[in-house]
Amino acid sequence: MRDARFTPRVFSGIKPSGGLTLGNYLGAIKRFVQTQDAATHETIYCVADLHAITVWQDPKELHAATREVAAAFLASGIDPERSVLFNQSQVSQHAELAWIFNCVTRLGWMNRMTQFKEKAGKNAEAQSLGLYAYPSLMAADILLYHATHVPVGEDQKQHVELTRDIAAKFNHDYKVDLFPLPEPVIEGPAMRVMNLRDGTRKMSKSGESDMERINLTDDADTILRKFQKARTDPAPLPETVEGLQGRPEARNLVEIYAALAGIAPAEVLARHPGAGWGTFKPALAELAVETLSPVSREMARLMADPAEIDRLLARGAERARAIAAPVLSRTYEVVGLLRG
Ligand code: ATP
Ligand code: MG
């Protein structure tokens, strides 16, 4: 249910934690552009550099990765005039509100976050406190703008739900109606693009092997090779979507095709009746190249002028601060922090 007390506003972000993948494109960027173009909501998009450093990032590579995420947004159709586009660390209010939320969030809530468990693996003791507290910063990212809608991939649903819990507890504890309860927006096929080598794990930019993901910057030959080597079972495509049950790799490739073509998975199966992988994989690769190559070409063009990207991000940060500063001031006031 939409929180009707607040004007609809969209916020989302992507971490500069490595090269962007097809999962980021289908689950996030493509939908950010559609939301902007629908023009029904104000749209705010952020390169989440403070989130990226929850795991080690080489400082020099972080600059390049930050610009690359910004370039991917721009190349895919984010208009820096219509949307607010910036990198998180230039708006200090994110970190400040996150601290307040650290004091609202309960440890028991954090302990239920599956992303931390997945990322920490067996070695939770050696992870940064930041990785553990990540969802509290994400709640601050969203609530600092009073965002009501958060387009994300399926993997981030739990964090948006936690954001609602944090907003509700803050409002309740301080007896205010300061923060909206934002909704995750997760619509369409390929909201959880899976790893090409293991259909039970999601595709991630920080995944171990390059063969498990399609990068936005991969060339046509690489994309074809990766799809051809993608793990599948030996059976051909089924007649109906029900036939994809228990076949995670087959389902993944069909859903990727559907999302790229803008059609339903059932339509993909109807267009390729009983196709074997020898014909379906090259068709999928061709479609992926057709979609991604204009984006990667434009990204390369933009990356050749880093000063222009920096200028756009600084300008976006200024606009973001204009929204964020009054919300943080009001929060400090409600919490009882003395301001001169
Ligand atoms: P990392 O491995 O560093 O966590 P990531 O690929 O998961 O990187 P994020 O920056 O964590 O990317 O997420 C950015 C956005 O992309 C989020 O909205 C997330 O839900 C979405 N996303 C990430 N991976 C996928 C995927 N495999 N399928 C669909 N959406 C995805
Ligand atoms: Mg992630």
pTM equals 0.96
pLDDT, residue 4, reads 74
CA atoms of 306 and 285, how far apart (whole Å): 30
pLDDT, residue 92, reads 98
DSSP 77: T
Mean pLDDT of the chain: 96
Structural contact between residues 135 and 102, judged by C-beta atoms closer than 8 angstroms: no
Ligand nearest to C-alpha 154: 1
- Output the CA 204–ligand 2 centroid distance in Å: 6
Phi-psi region of 58 (alpha: psi -120 to 50; beta: other; left: phi over 0): beta
∠166-207-94 over CA atoms, to 5°? Answer: 30
Best residue among 14, 45, 137 to mutate for probing ligand 1, ranked by most atoms within 8 Å of CB? 14
pLDDT, residue 213, reads 97
pLDDT, residue 5, reads 80
Checking if the pLDDT of 290 tops 80, the result is yes
- Say yes or no: CB of residue 202 within 6 Å of ligand 1: yes
Please write the tens of the pLDDT for every residue from 214-270.
999 999 999 999 999 999 999 999 999 999 999 999 999 999 999 999 999 999 999
> How large a percentage of the chain has pLDDT more than 90?
95
pLDDT band at 311 (very low <50, low <70, confident <90, very high): very high
pLDDT band at 2 (very low <50, low <70, confident <90, very high): low
Which of these ranges, 91-95, 120-124, 225-229, 251-255, has the smallest mean pLDDT? Answer: 120-124
- Output the CA 276–ligand 2 centroid distance in Å: 32
Checking if the pLDDT of 308 tops 60, the result is yes
Ligand nearest to C-alpha 65: 1
Query: Of ligand 1's atoms, which has the minimum distance to the CA of residue 154?
Result: 20
**Phi, psi (deg, nearest 5) at residue 9:** -150, 135
Residue whose pair of structure tokens reads 């559609």 in the numeric block: 34
Checking if the pLDDT of 128 tops 60, the result is yes
Which of 61, 57, 46, 58 has the alpha carbon at shortest distance from 95? Answer: 46
Q: Is 205 annotated as a binding residue?
A: yes
pLDDT band at 340 (very low <50, low <70, confident <90, very high): confident
Residues 6+ apart with CB under 8 A from 148: 2, 3, 6, 7, 8, 9, 10, 41, 180, 182, 183
pLDDT, residue 151, reads 97
Q: Is 128 annotated as a binding residue?
A: no
Concerning whether 202 is annotated as a catalytic residue, the answer is yes
Checking if the pLDDT of 275 tops 90, the result is yes
Helix ranges (DSSP H) in 124-261: 129-143, 157-173, 220-229, 248-261
Checking if the pLDDT of 3 tops 80, the result is no
- Output the CA 54–ligand 2 centroid distance in Å: 11
- Say yes or no: CB of residue 203 within 6 Å of ligand 1: yes
Ordered DSSP codes for 182-211: -EEE--SS-SSPEETTEEEEE--TT-S-GG
| Domains of the chain with CATH codes | 9-185+305-335 (3.40.50.620), 210-301 (1.10.240.10)
Which of 294, 269, 296 has the alpha carbon at shortest distance from 283? Answer: 269
Mean pLDDT of the region 313-336: 98
- Which residue did the predictor score with more confidence, 5 or 259? 259
Structural contact between residues 193 and 160, judged by C-beta atoms closer than 8 angstroms: no
> How large a percentage of the chain has pLDDT more than 70?
99
Q: Is 193 annotated as a binding residue?
A: yes
Residues 6+ apart with CB under 8 A from 138: 51, 156, 159, 163
Q: Is 204 annotated as a binding residue?
A: yes
pLDDT, residue 1, reads 55
- Say yes or no: CB of residue 31 within 6 Å of ligand 1: no
What tokens appear for 242 in the block? 């029900």
Structural contact between residues 119 and 55, judged by C-beta atoms closer than 8 angstroms: yes
pLDDT, residue 32, reads 97
pLDDT, residue 254, reads 98
